[in-house]
Structures are given as structure tokens and as C-alpha cells.
Chains A and B, each alone.
Chain A
Amino acid sequence: MSESFLGLTAEDWQAVWLSVRVSLAAVALSLPFGVAAGWVLARKSFPGKALAETLLNLPLVMPPVVTGLLLLYLLGKRGWIGSWLYHWFGLEIALTWRAAVLAVAVMGFPLMVRAIRLAFEGTDPRLYQAARSLGARPLDAFLTVSLPLARNGVIAGIVLSFARGLGEFGATLMFAGIRPETRMLAIEVYILNNQPGAAYEERMWRLVAASALLAFAALAASEHFARRGRRHASA
């Protein structure tokens, strides 16, 4: 406890590090889907698009606890999909670190897609066509032209959903419960606030400071990339 860095003890850093790890894993998991969804929404029109958009944005406005509960009913050991996964693959999701990652990914997904979609909308689709005409197959043209042109938006989406993940509480609590590997910053702060005693109080405030710091850094980074993206697009 005596060793400290920036006023945080090793134990505090562990909570920070856990939050960062879960959030990073969630971003890594959702990025391919986020890029695909952002691209489809920016470029394609299809019947039911409005409905798809609404569903996609649902976690943004639905109470996180409700989202967590739905995840539990879908992917719990006795859930619609979860029971099947458990039966055939022995895969348990609910109440494990996987659940925390999934909850964080779902909650951050709308933010990620929004940023990526805007970035794709800001690039000229004819550049993709030019690449095709020069001999690039669809995926090749997408990876070498469309995606690099949208990269600042993609980075902004990553940072934004990552930052959202650091603060995840409700959905994670419902879906992942409180386990050593799910005690991310917000949950830790909540638990500490429920525990009478000065030592808990002190630790809680240190973690509050740590979350504020992390959130600030993440937002600053996202702003930075968003600005760079605008400059890039206007050039």
C-alpha cells in the first residue's frame, strides 16, 4: 500500500488497469463490426435501414441496466443463445470476464458506429470506384482507399467507445456480476461507496480521480482525432 504513483496505490492501479484491459478487449471485439456497420449505413440503402439504425442506437438511450438484463436473458447459461453455447461448446459468458467485455462492447457500439459512419460519409465514394477501376477487388479497394480515408473517424470511434467503456456500470453489473475480473472503475467506486469506513472512502476518492483523469485523456484524444479528420476532409 505504501508504494504509490500519482497518489494511487498498486491496488488502485489494478482497478484502472482492469478497466483499460476490458475496454480495449471490447473495442477490439466490436471494431470489425463497427467498421462494417458504419460503412453499410453510410453507403447502402436497404429496406429496414431506419429500423436497423434504431436498434443499433438502442443501447445509447436504453437504461444500461435493461441492456444488461437483456444480455443476461440472451446469453445467460439458461438464456436463448447462452444455453445453446453452454450445451454445445461449454462456453460460459454471463458472470465472467467475457460478459464484462461483451457488455462494454454493446454499450460503446453506437458511439463507435456513429463516428465511423460520419467518417465514411465524409469521403467521396467515387474514390472507391476509382480504385476498383484501377484493378482493386472490393475488399482491397476498401482496405487501401475507403478505410484509410476514414481512419480519423475510425480512431475517434475507437477512442469514444473505449472511453464509454471505462465508465460502464449498469449493464456490466447485471450481466457480469461482481467478480474479481469484472471490478472495473465504476463498479469499484460504487462498491466502495457502499462500504462504511474512512479507508474505503479514501480509496474511493482516489479511484474517482483516476476515472476523471482517464475520461479526460480519452476525450481529449478523441477530439484531437476528430479535428484532424475534419482538416483532412477539407483539404
Chain B
Amino acid sequence: MRLHSATCWILACVLAGCGFQGGGPERRPEPVIVFAAASTKEAVEQAARDFQGQTDTPVEVSLGPSSGLAKQIEQGASADLFLSADQASADYLAAKQLVSERRNLLTNRLVVVVPADSDVGVRELRDLADPRIRRLALAEPKVPAGEYARQALRKAGVWDKVEGRVVGGIDVRATLQFVARGEAEAGFVYRTDALGQSKVRVAVEVEPGLHDPIRYPLVLLRREPIREAARRFYEYLGSEKAAGVFEHAGFGVDR
């Protein structure tokens, strides 16, 4: 009985394998591969779907911290486009001769979020020194959201007071989740992240002068050759239609 069922399994697997290969290579265009900052997730995915519906060219979106994505690209990841949440990551790739073209696409605002039911009463950055803020979620250093947040905290003169309570997220969305789950009493994310998460509310809109301007460069990466579809999506992301998607998600569009 056992042997019998084992045989059936093997047979089923073999047949499935045949079916898998027997279908033959469908002629599908190769996807455009986009590496995008975690904060742009929903908007870029929406733009990719729109583009795919219009042109039948599939788009694959890979998300993560911009700094980490830059490292992956440097290490040979086969990306066509890179949408970074800071200039530094794009500059890094430019220094490695990996950038073909770039343009500033989006702007964003840094905010302090607290759990939706928080009663700590955070109104400005100085309030983060309140002992009831036991943990402060920041993205890791080098991750853009983490860098902006550290700049702002230093400039506001509260870094020394909160440094010991920092818990790091590997990207801005992981950071957001710490606050959403109530494990951290406050955290720094982008305004756009806060809009999509009902379990947090924005407590402070951080004064933009406290950190480097938050500008998202879109990079057409140097690949040999640069594929036509990749360039078309690069252009598409700069179009008015895509701008509508980004603005709907709360981004500013760098026109």
C-alpha cells in the first residue's frame, strides 16, 4: 500500500514535470526589473500595473531599503531601474559608473508617528525625550529614512537623549510596523507610509529644514544594451499619469 502510494507520487511528479516543460516557451516579453525604495511600494506597484496594462510589458518590482538595493545593484543584480529615497544611494552607483540617466522624481515629508491610541502627547521632536517613549523606531543608518531622522534629531538637539532607546528597522516599512504593533511608542517614517497604516497617526510633521531634502531620484541603470522597454518605463514614471498615482499616494512630484 505504501509502495503503491509512493509510486503514485513519483508518477505524479514526473507528469507534472513533463507538463511544466511540455507547454513550451511562451513568447512573453522579458520583464522590466525595478528596484524601488520600500516607501514607494504601493505607488510603484500601481504604476507598474498601469504600464503593463498599457504596453503588455511586465514589470517586476523589488522593494527594500535604498542603501541595500544600491548594494545589490553594485553586486550585479540585473535591475533596469532604481527608484531611491535619497541622493546618496544614487550617487554611490554613479561613482561606480552604473548610472546611465537620472532625474528627481518624487519628494516626501518625514513624520513622527505614534500608535493610533497613544496618549503620550508628542507634539514636537523635543517631546520624544519623554520617558514614556521607551522605544523609538528608526530605520538603520544609511537607510535614507534612518539618515533623515538622525539628522533631524541631531539638529533639534534631542539625539543624545533618545539614542539609547532606538530600535532599528531594516527599512522604513519594518520601522513603521514596530509602531503599528505598539512595540515602539514612536517612530520616524515618511508621511506616505503613515497614510497607508491605520494603526498609527502622525504626531509631528518634521520641519524639512532639519534634514537633507527628501528627493527620490529615478535612475536608468547602465546595462548593455539598455532595453527599449526599460527606457519606456523610465519615461512612463515621469508622465502625468504616473504623477497622479504618486500624488494620490501622498508623494510630491518633482516637475
B152-192 interface mask toward A, CB cutoff 8 Å, 1 = contact, 0 = none? 00000000000000111110000000100111100000000
B141 within 8 A of A: yes
B65 within 8 A of A: yes
B143 within 8 A of A: yes
Residues in B with CB closer than 8 Å to A77 are 182-183
Residues in B with CB closer than 8 Å to A193 are 68, 71
B67 within 8 A of A: yes
Which residues 64-108 of A sit at the B interface, judged by CB distance below 8 A?
A: 72, 76-78, 92, 94-95
Nearest CB in chain B: distance from A171 CB, A: 14
Using CB atoms, name the residue of chain A closest to B166.
Answer: A179
Partner of A72, one of B135, B169, B183: B183
CA distance A92 to B183 in the complex (A): 10
Residues in B with CB closer than 8 Å to A226 are none
Residues in B with CB closer than 8 Å to A76 are 181-183
* Interface core residue of A177, A178, A190, A196 (most chain B CB under 10 Å): A196
Using CB atoms, name the residue of chain B closest to A193.
Answer: B71
Which residues 55-113 of B sit at the A interface, judged by CB distance below 8 A?
A: 64-65, 67-68, 70-71, 74, 88-89, 92
Residues in A with CB closer than 8 Å to B89 are 196
Partner of A179, one of B70, B92, B168: B168
Is the Cβ of B74 less than 8 Å from the Cβ of A196?
Answer: yes
Is the Cβ of B168 less than 8 Å from the Cβ of A196?
Answer: no
* Interface core residue of B89, B92, B178, B181 (most chain A CB under 10 Å): B181
Nearest CB in chain B: distance from A186 CB, A: 12
Q: If A77-B183, A194-B67, A196-B67 touch, does A177 touch B167 (CB 8 Å cutoff)? A: yes
CA distance A72 to B135 in the complex (A): 15
A181-199 interface mask toward B, CB cutoff 8 Å, 1 = contact, 0 = none? 0000000001101111100
B49 within 8 A of A: no
Residues in B with CB closer than 8 Å to A178 are 140, 167-170
Is the Cβ of A194 less than 8 Å from the Cβ of B71?
Answer: yes
Which residues 113-171 of B sit at the A interface, judged by CB distance below 8 A?
A: 134-135, 137, 140-143, 166-170
Interface residue count on the A side (C-beta < 8 Å): 19
Nearest CB in chain A: distance from B96 CB, A: 9
A173 within 8 A of B: yes
CA distance A94 to B135 in the complex (A): 11
CA distance A177 to B175 in the complex (A): 9
Using CB atoms, name the residue of chain A closest to B181.
Answer: A76
Q: If A72-B183, A92-B134, A196-B89 touch, does A191 touch B167 (CB 8 Å cutoff)? A: no
CA distance A95 to B64 in the complex (A): 21
Which residues 5-20 of B sit at the A interface, judged by CB distance below 8 A?
A: none
Residues in B with CB closer than 8 Å to A78 are 181-183
CA distance A130 to B149 in the complex (A): 68
Is the Cβ of A195 less than 8 Å from the Cβ of B67?
Answer: yes
Using CB atoms, name the residue of chain B closest to A92.
Answer: B134
Is the Cβ of A177 less than 8 Å from the Cβ of B134?
Answer: no
Is the Cβ of B181 less than 8 Å from the Cβ of A191?
Answer: no
What would 13 A/B residue contacts be, using CB atoms closer than 8 Å?
A72-B183, A76-B182, A173-B170, A178-B170, A191-B170, A194-B64, A194-B65, A194-B140, A195-B67, A195-B142, A196-B70, A196-B89, A196-B142
The 6 A-B residue pairs whose C-beta atoms are closest, nearest first, are A178-B168, A194-B68, A177-B167, A195-B142, A196-B92, A78-B182
Known: A78-B182, A92-B134, A194-B170. 20 other contacts (CB 8 A): A76-B181, A76-B182, A77-B182, A95-B135, A173-B170, A177-B183, A178-B140, A178-B169, A178-B170, A179-B166, A191-B140, A191-B168, A193-B68, A194-B64, A194-B65, A194-B67, A194-B71, A195-B141, A195-B142, A196-B74
